[in-house]
Structure 1
Amino acid sequence: MASVTPSYDRDGEHIGWQVAVRKRGFPAQYKTFRTKAEAMGWAAVTESEMVRGVFVQRTESEQTTLNDLLCRYSKEVLPTLKGGYREQSRIKALQAGLGAYSLASLNSSLIAKYRDSRLSTISEKTGRLVSAQTVKHELGLLQRAMKMAAIEWGIALPGGIPTAMVKKPSLPSARDRRLVDDEEERLLAACAEARNAWLRPVIIFAIETAMRAGEILEKWELDKETGNQEKKGVGLQWSDVDLKKRTAHLPKTKNGDARTVPLSRRAVATLEALPRNLDGRVFGVTYEGIHQSYVRACRRAGITGLTFHDLRHEATSRLFEKGLNPMQVAAITGHKTLQMLKRYTHLRAEDLAKLLG
């Protein structure tokens, strides 16, 4: 049964109405309202939910703001994730837009408004509109944090996880740039003319293995808070290469899982021709050192619109064209789902026609 009693302040002034709902099998519920009608309405809804077996304890979700949740997620979860530092900018954006709301008050309408607002915001970093991919990552982070709150931290969300009901921004079509005609020969010829002697073997190795730039080369990134360059990847190490077995082991990858990449004969020949660095790196150059050389080589070769990451697209597609099945290709490239793999795979119709006989 619910009881509604007047509530007074220290001076004896009437300030509202306190409700107490007590029902066997449920924790007692208390709440104060300004009017008696609001108090009785809340009591009726709460009792009805208890009777129907759909009652959810709201106290903690009402007292926890999204800002509180994201701070906890940042401290307890991000340090355990590979590349978790990338989530900090997304957390700041979510806190700025939705941080003041309690978890109980967050709904799909508020999140949809946040999505639309972000898509019309100019990024301080790029000077352009915030991309749909960026907003999708932010909503994904919000969903993971709220799921953690509900499942691991025991914070009941009365309306469930609202992000599941919000339409994600439409992404632009996946890049389908591949090497065409004699572009590979022209590119490698231009690389051979480069001052950077590492450029040509790096390009060949990328095409042969489908490895990411950060898996091949040492990589550095600017820490916005400190203004210092920080090493984010050590690149491929000789200690992880077995030329006899024709494998390269990657103990740390972007998705957090280790994997071992099989090496083609061309990849092995490329490695065998390299000088050995005293620091253990296979390629004695950073990604930053390769990038500008690569851009200039493409310019000399008359090749436009081909990014370094497109070489991973090219390599992945060639694996399928050689007849490997999706599971085999995923084991090489490190993609976790077929949908992710599909975005990097662009098969030529003429090559598929040859397989048909």
Structure 2
Amino acid sequence: MATISARKGPDENDKMVVIGYQAIIRKKGHPSQTKTFRAKRDAERWARQIESEMERGVFVQRTESEQTTVNDLLDRYAREVLPTLKGGYREQSRIKALQNSLGAYSLAVLNSSMIAKYRDKRLSTVSEKTGRLVSAQTVKHELGLLQRALKMAVMEWGIALPGGIPTATVKKPSLPPSRNRRLVDDEEERLLAACADARNPWLRPAVIFAIETAMRAGEIVETWKLNKKTGKREMVSIGLQWSEVDLKKRTAHLPKTKNGNARTVPLSSRAVATLEALPRNLDGRVFGVTYEGIHQSYVRACRRAGVTGLTFHDLRHEGISRLAEQGLTILELQAISGHKTIQMLLKYTHLRAEDLALKLR
């Protein structure tokens, strides 16, 4: 049975008056629970709820979740978890967005309705960076980060959530159809010709290598990003190193990738020939250029070639699709591309109908 007692304190005239009510619950098999309220009816309502949960065997200790805000949770996640993740820098902007809207709430009161409202508000917000509405993919990443942080709180940090993990029941934003940009007609020939005329001597071999290996840009060339907190540029990836290439075995071993898993990429004859024609840099890099330098040259080359809407990342898409058209299985494609799940890989394997038709003859 709960005990509810009045708490007294001095008023403005130093007269002792009731300033609140403290509810104490002691029940065998459970730690004692204490909470103070301004109104007696609130103390009684809380006590009835907690006692009912204890009797039904569904009671969850609320102290930690009541004392921990979303700000506290995400700060700890950024401090303890992000440094261990490959590409953790990407999460900083997502954390900021979540904290701006949900940061003041305690984990005990955070519910699916609040998160659904956050989702809808974000989808109708204009991004300061792009000047366009925040994309569904961005919001999906933000909700995913919040869910991972909440799971960490429950599973590793001993913070029980009375209502469970609220993100689990929130519908994720519907994503637009994935990009399906492939090289068509004589686009590859025109693009490579424009790359050959570029001032940047690394552009053409980098483009060929990207198509042949389906590697990410950051796995091919050195990549830097601006840290918005410090205002300084930080290296994200060092790019492919000669020490990771075995021309005899025709492989490139990638010890550090976007998803954190190492993988070995097979090299086609064209990829090997491209590497053999490159000069050897003293610093060990295969391509002596940064992604920033490649990107600017690539955009100009596309413009000269009359190739529109083809990003450098689309070359990876092109490479994976070509491998699929050669008859590789989904599992083989996954081993080469480094995608964590088959579902993530499927959006890249847009096969040409005419190539599939040849297999049906």
- The aligned counterpart of 1:166 is 170
Partner of 1:269: 273
Q: 2:247 aligns with which of 233, 243, 248?
A: 243
Aligned partner (choices 153, 160, 183) of residue 156 of structure 1: 160
Query: Who is 1:4 aligned against?
Result: 4
1:142 partnered with 2:146: yes
Residue of structure 1 in register with 2:64 after alignment = 60
Aligned residue for 2:252, secondary structure, equals strand
Query: Segments of 4+ in structure 1 off by > 3 A?
Result: none
Aligned partner of 1:190 in structure 2 is: 194
Partner of residue 285, structure 1:
289
The CA deviation string for residues 321-351 of structure 1, in whole angstroms up to 9 with x for no partner, is 1111111111100001011101222111111
Q: In the alignment, which residue of structure 1 is the partner of 2:300?
A: 296
Higher alpha-carbon deviation: 249-258 or 227-236: 227-236
Alignment partner, residue 332 of structure 1: 336
Instruction: Give the CA RMSD over aligned residues.
Output: 1.3
Amino acid in structure 2 at the alignment position of 1:2? A
CA drift at 1:42: 1.8
1:1-357 to 2 correspondences below 5 Å: 1-9=1-9, 12-357=16-361
Whole-angstrom distance in 2 between the partners of 1:295 and 1:136:
29
Report SS of the residue matched to 1:225.
Answer: coil
- Ranges in structure 2 where 5+ consecutive residues have no aligned partner: none
Give, as a single letter, the amino acid of the residue that structure 2 aligns with 1:9. Answer: G
Give the residue type in structure 1 aligned to 2:36. T
Cα deviation code 1:194-216 (max 9, x no counterpart): 22221111111111000001100
- Aligned amino acid, residue 185 of structure 1: E
Residues 287-296 or 249-258, more deviating: 287-296
Q: How many residues align?
A: 357
* CA shift for structure 1 position 4: 1.7
TM-score by length of 2: 0.96
Tell me, in whole angstroms, the C-alpha distance in 1 between the residues paired with 2:185 and 2:117: 47
Cα deviation for residue 86 of structure 1 reads 1.5
CA distance in structure 1 between the partners assigned to 2:52 and 2:199 by the alignment: 77
For 2:76, give the aligned amino acid. Answer: R
Q: Percent identity?
A: 77
Of residues 63-72 and 185-194 in structure 1, the stretch that sits farther from structure 2 once superposed is 185-194
Name the CA distance, whole Å, in 2 between partners of 1:285 and 1:33.
64
Give the drift of 1:31. Answer: 1.4
- Report the alpha carbon displacement of residue 223 of structure 1 after superposing the two structures with TM: 2.2
- Partner Cα separation in structure 1 for residue 300 and residue 9 of structure 2: 75
Q: Secondary structure at the match of 2:312?
A: coil
**What runs of 5+ residues in structure 1 fail to find an aligned partner?**
none
- In 2, Cα distance between the equivalents of 1:220 and 1:48? 56
Moved more, 31-40 or 66-75: 31-40
| 2:16 counterpart SS class | coil
Q: Deviations over 1:86-123 (max 9, x none)?
A: 11111111111011000001011111111122222222
Query: Partners in 2 of 1:34 and 1:113 — Cα distance?
Result: 30
| Rounded Cα–Cα distance in structure 1 between residues aligned with 2:229 and 2:114 | 30
* Cα offsets for 1:281-309 (capped at 9, x unmatched): 11111111111221122122221111111
Task: Give 3-state SS (helix, strand or coil) of 1:175's partner.
Answer: coil
Q: Which moved more, 1:26-35 or 1:269-278?
A: 26-35
Displacement of 1:270 after TM fit?
A: 0.8
Of residues 26-35 and 308-317 in structure 1, the stretch that sits farther from structure 2 once superposed is 26-35
CA distance in 1, matches of 2:141, 2:63: 29
Greater Cα offset, 115-124 or 345-354: 115-124
